Amino acid sequence: MTIANGANGAGGSTAAGERAGADRVVATGGSGSTATVASGAAVASAAEPAAEPGTGAGLDLTRPRAFVTGELDPYFAELRRDRPLAWHEPPTADGRGFWVAGRHADVAALARDTTRLSSARGNMLETLLDGGDPGGDRMLVVSDPPRHTALRALMKSGFMPAALESLAERIRRVARDLWIRAALDGRCDVAADIAAKIPLAAICDLLGVPETDRAYVGERTTAALGSDLATPVRDASRLAQAEILLYFSRLARNEPSAMLRVLAEGSLDGVPLTRDELVLNCYSLILGGDVTTRLSIVGGVAELAADPALWEGVRNGEVDIGSTAEEVLRWTTPVVHLARTAVTEIDLHGRRIRPGDVVTLWPRSANRDEREFADPGRFDPARRPNRHLTFGFGPHFCLGAHLARIEVTAVLEGMRHAVDRITPDGPPQPVYSAFVAGYSALPVRLTPSVAALRSAAGRAG
């Protein structure tokens, strides 16, 4: 899944009287800044509306801690029921507020709306509250049509099913071998020993990252989007982002892969991509291609390890691997929100979004919507249909969705081949982030399957 981050730039705000009567989500803490929106969008530049009495308190969706306390799903259930478009108060006295949309139908409709909502100023809440993404209109995920359409057409060849056939076979082989080794050892950390080895290797293959550099790249991508610390150091995240950009700048000058050559030799409207555009898109691909799928894998295995009956159904073939993979993707939803900037007025659920407003879409909430899913709070490997929005929707649908499905499916197939029983071996370690969610560590105990034991015997012989 491709994602992006950004740094400081220009921000925006909305007149106080425009939202009189709007539902509000009161928040405290966090960080943000207010300035004037850059050219390209009409803006009402004034102070944020004052808080309304009696609206109640809610989670601060800018704070990573909100995503690991267990409060998020009940919170979004209340919003979907009573306040489908809610106003989140500024996280600081001098910060900006933003809109929150969490129903499945609304998230899908807003995600495909590139006429009234723009991604070019950023697609992460933190970035937009800080003023905008400096990669805007130069990086696929933070661009709008027609440039987005042309850039996507240039990049998609490397992610077509036919182009991924040989890579898919390697992924399946690696996943099986990793699970056999882990099962024979009797225990492992799924995050470090399984999930960290598969998506990273695949996207590094596509981008031509040498084997000797992959541990470093994986470490930097993890630091760029989250932390194991309850109070993450923001500067550490930004340093990691800068190091990834520097790494790909150097890589592109040496021996570029086929994907890098496509970018280096491609052009938009007859104009070649600049070096900065090439590097920024590699940065986006490596973050999205590694971290998000890794988190889905770990989260899916965590659910199966916690419920022996669920795992038995998958292991013995009663439950289809394909439907299990889709439920893993729905349940984990590693990218919890998408952010946009309104470029025109939008009326939704009796509320009016103004030009310049930040609008956040929450796939995490959409994937738990009772209007779309039966018993959405239950992990159900046999769930069909499963119209989750984990990969987004519309023009910005994840470029690497097919690759991510290959990887999640390969992990489940390898696990079914090599593992008879799996149980937790301690609590998982959550990632602290307001953009991605999941576990950075998942210790488990394993009993090898007969197939794994035979494989070991065959290798020994």
* Tens of pLDDT, residue by residue, the chain (461 residues): 433 333 333 333 333 333 433 444 433 222 222 222 222 232 222 233 333 322 234 789 999 888 988 899 999 999 999 999 999 999 888 899 999 999 999 999 999 999 999 999 999 999 999 999 988 999 999 999 999 999 999 999 889 999 899 999 999 999 999 999 999 999 999 999 999 999 999 999 988 899 999 999 988 887 887 665 554 556 777 888 889 988 888 887 776 677 777 777 778 888 888 888 888 898 889 888 999 999 999 999 999 999 999 999 999 999 999 999 999 999 999 999 999 999 999 999 999 999 999 999 999 999 999 999 999 999 999 999 999 999 999 999 999 999 999 999 999 999 999 999 999 999 999 998 899 999 999 999 999 999 999 987 777 65
385: preceding bond cis by omega (within 30 degrees): yes
Are 80 and 103 in contact, with CB atoms under 8 Å apart? yes
DSSP codes of every residue in 119-148: -TT-SSHHHHHTT--TTTTTSGGG--TTHH
Instruction: Read off the tokens for 246.
Output: 């520097």
Q: Give the alpha-carbon dihedral of 26, 438, 106, 382, to 10 degrees.
A: -140
Helices (H), 333-433: 363-366, 401-418
User: What Rg do the C-alpha atoms of the chain give, in angstroms?
Assistant: 22
Instruction: Read off the tokens for 269.
Output: 């409207």
Cα gap 431→5, rounded to integer Å? 17
Predicted TM-score (pTM) of this structure: 0.85
- Residue 85: CB atoms within 10 Å: 23
Element (H, E) at 105: helix 104-111
- Residue 428: CB atoms within 10 Å: 22
Q: Which residues contact 62 (CB under 8 A, 6 or more apart)?
A: 27, 29, 30, 31, 32, 91, 125, 126, 129, 434
CA 243 to chain centre: 20
Query: How deeply is 68 buried, as exposed, middle or buried, from its count of CB atoms within 10 A (0-12, 13-18, 19+)?
Result: middle
